[in-house]
Amino acid sequence: MRYLRAMLIVTHDTLRNPAILQVRQLPRKFFGRVTVWPKEPLGPLRFLRLVAEFQALRYLLTLSPLLLIGLIWNVAALPLAQAPVLMIALIWWIEMRVLRVPPKRRPLLIPQAQAARGLDLLKVQSRDVLTRIAALREMRAGQLHLVIEQSELWHLSPLTYVTVQSDDGPEVLRLTAQERQIIADRLFQPPMTEALLQRINQSQNTFLRDITFDTKGVSAHARLAAALA
């Protein structure tokens, strides 16, 4: 499960609950605020990865050994039920030490120079995506945002939500199938992968990347290429 690719392009036609795309300010964030339910079949592993984001479920799984002990050995049930400190400590250890990177270990995940090169490459590939989308839409003014948000959970496969957002509104754009394919084909290209971005994000404790693009910068060549596509 560690290397499962789990990028989800979040837009109106890919969600069962598109109402979550309403925007008050940019960038629109999802993790910890709303539940993303994709329309597409996820398969068992991707479904489990998505479900792992439910905090209440993680707490229940964390405490399940204690619950099991209480069921098997009745004599231990009452002491365990009266030991909330033990339960809180167990939840804290799993959440902060197992599923997240302790602050002292973050700088050891990746050299700073490599992280900087990775983020530069992410900006280049993101602006390439936005250029193509703006050209397809024949946009000549306004600013687009490619927002790439990842889960904070470590030791699990990266879970990445990608949206295109616009200052005009503001809004999350309703992406066409062609635009979604552009993102799928061109955003994460080696050596910049979801796994590398996850490592960079964990090292910097930053899980949302907002790459902006002024659509005035779309070249005539890009517009011509979009027209011929």
In a domain, 205, yes or no: yes
Closest by CA to 150, choosing from 199, 110, 92, is 199
**What pLDDT digit, counting tens, does each position of 173-213 carry?**
999 999 999 999 999 999 999 999 999 999 999 999 999 99
In a domain, 83, yes or no: no
In a domain, 72, yes or no: no
Contact 162, 187 (CB under 8 A): yes
In a domain, 91, yes or no: no
| 49: containing domain | 7-53+104-228
In a domain, 184, yes or no: yes
Closest by CA to 190, choosing from 114, 111, 104, 125, is 125
Give the Cα separation of 216 and 140 in Å (integer). 5
What is the domain count for the chain? 1
- What is the pTM (predicted TM-score) of this model? 0.89
3-state secondary structure of 29: coil
In a domain, 1, yes or no: no
> Which residues make Cβ contacts (< 8 Å) with residue 20, sequence separation at least 6?
30, 34, 35, 36
**What pLDDT digit, counting tens, does each position of 88-123 carry?**
888 899 999 999 999 999 999 999 999 999 999 999
